[in-house]
Amino acid sequence: MTSRPSEAPSEIGVALILAACFGTVMLDRMEQLFLGPDLERGLHLSPSQIGLLAGAVSVCWALSTFVFGMVSDRVGRKRVLVPAMVVFSLLSWVSGLARNFEEMLLIRALLGLAEGPCWSVIMATMEDLSTPERRGRNVGIVVCAGSLVGSTIGPVFATQIAAHFGWQTAFFAAGIPGLILAIVVARHVPEPARLPHAPRASLAGARAVLASRDLWLCFVAALMLTVWIFAFNAFAPLFMSQTKGFSGTQIGWILGASGLGGFLYCLTWPALSDRIGRRPALLAAGAIATALPLGFLLPGLDARLLVPVAMLTSAGPAIAALAMVLVPMELAPDGQTATAVGFVSIGGDALGATLGPVAGGYLVERFDLTAPLWLAAGAGAAVVLACLFLRETRPRLSPQSA
């Protein structure tokens, strides 16, 4: 059991603070991708080395979000979250001091270890401080900040600073918000309270998480969702350029529409699930996401038509909010919410983030540039299949909130 704010405005305030924290986490995580051309020139990196940097962050993130999520279930949320935010912000600064690939790889791996706890602990904190009938709305607000910063604000922020002041300064600047927000969290976000009889996280609790059939279904859904994300995002631009013959500007508009659609889905779909249930919302989002790569494969669609198609079918972030956060938290054994979120994240960040681009690249070499889009469509269908067997977890709405 945890104490929850009784007034909705305080929940909204906490949600906005934690949304800013998660947006900052995603900025620091993704910045190395936005600055890829600058790193290639400045540190003389090859494309494969840039890919290794991203892979190192993903694997370290996935492992630490599980381990430190379990720690936060035992010792408290803020004791893990505040130090983690300080450390990853400082490591963003240190990234600007790297002189070669080896130093950058070590720094970014350590950054992944520091950022991983923020994912599970931020989400568990939001769950702890939310009333059940507003949980989906609040989690959606937090998760959509990752889409907004990661897909929209982050690229502009990083590349503009790098263009005017150098890539090192871009890393320095990205570290500032996290330090400020660590102070804000320490002072203004309440530590969720536990009743004396509330269970503490332990290895036995972790085994209970691993024994849950439904959490394994969420694990599979997270894995397939991440395959969908990477197979589509890594190869759709090449498909549009080389197969469709679109210009860079046209591709930019289509990808921008996709990012905007993902943000809107993530903002609204979890709140909708508060009304209609988690499972129906997941099934619908999975079907919509499956249509995204299929829409690109339809013959005769020009760039102008693909803009609305991309915007209307980019439901992946909504699936992430539901299958990787909300449902695992509601399925978790008592006292194990961050552990459950961390476990499911291993499927996405450690496995899906690796399998998606590797399998997509193999399929391109074996067949053609349409193959990764078929892979993304198949992964979307697999999300739907996994969610078909999930049990409904939405808390019953009270008469006053119905």
Cβ atoms < 10 Å from Cβ of 311: 18
Q: How far is CA 361 from CA 245, 373, 399, in A?
A: 20, 11, 52
Angle at 316 (CA atoms; ends 310, 317), nearest 5 degrees: 110
Listed in order, strand segments (DSSP E) in 294-355 are none
Q: Hey, what are 367's tokens?
A: 């067949």
In this chain, the answer to whether the domains covering 8-189 and 207-388 adopt an identical fold is yes
Cα–Cα dist 118/69, whole Å: 8
The answer to whether residues 115 and 25 touch, using CB atoms and an 8 Å cutoff, is yes
The per-residue pLDDT string of the chain (402 residues; one tens digit each, 9 = 90 and over) reads: 344 444 434 788 889 999 999 999 988 888 887 787 788 888 887 766 877 787 788 888 888 988 888 888 888 889 999 999 999 999 999 999 999 999 999 999 999 999 988 988 998 888 888 888 888 888 888 988 887 887 678 777 888 888 889 889 999 999 999 999 999 999 888 887 664 444 555 566 677 788 889 999 999 999 999 899 888 877 888 888 888 888 877 887 888 788 888 889 988 999 899 899 999 999 999 999 999 999 999 887 888 899 999 999 999 999 999 999 889 988 887 778 888 888 888 887 778 877 777 788 888 888 888 999 999 999 999 999 999 999 998 876 433 333
Angle at 240 (CA atoms; ends 349, 151), nearest 5 degrees: 40
The answer to whether residues 234 and 356 touch, using CB atoms and an 8 Å cutoff, is yes
Note the pLDDT of residue 196.
46
3-state secondary structure of 104: helix
Instruction: Please tell us whether the domain made up of 8-189 is placed in CATH 1.20.1250.20.
Output: yes
Note the pLDDT of residue 341.
86
Note the pLDDT of residue 9.
40
Q: Using H for helix, E for strand and C for coil, what is the string for 38-64?
A: HHHHHCCCCHHHHHHHHHHHHHHHHHH
Q: Span 207-388: which CATH code?
A: 1.20.1250.20
Cα–Cα dist 58/349, whole Å: 5
- Domain segments of the chain: what residues? 8-189, 207-388
Angle at 49 (CA atoms; ends 48, 53), nearest 5 degrees: 115
Task: Give residue 46's identity as a one-letter amino acid code.
Answer: S
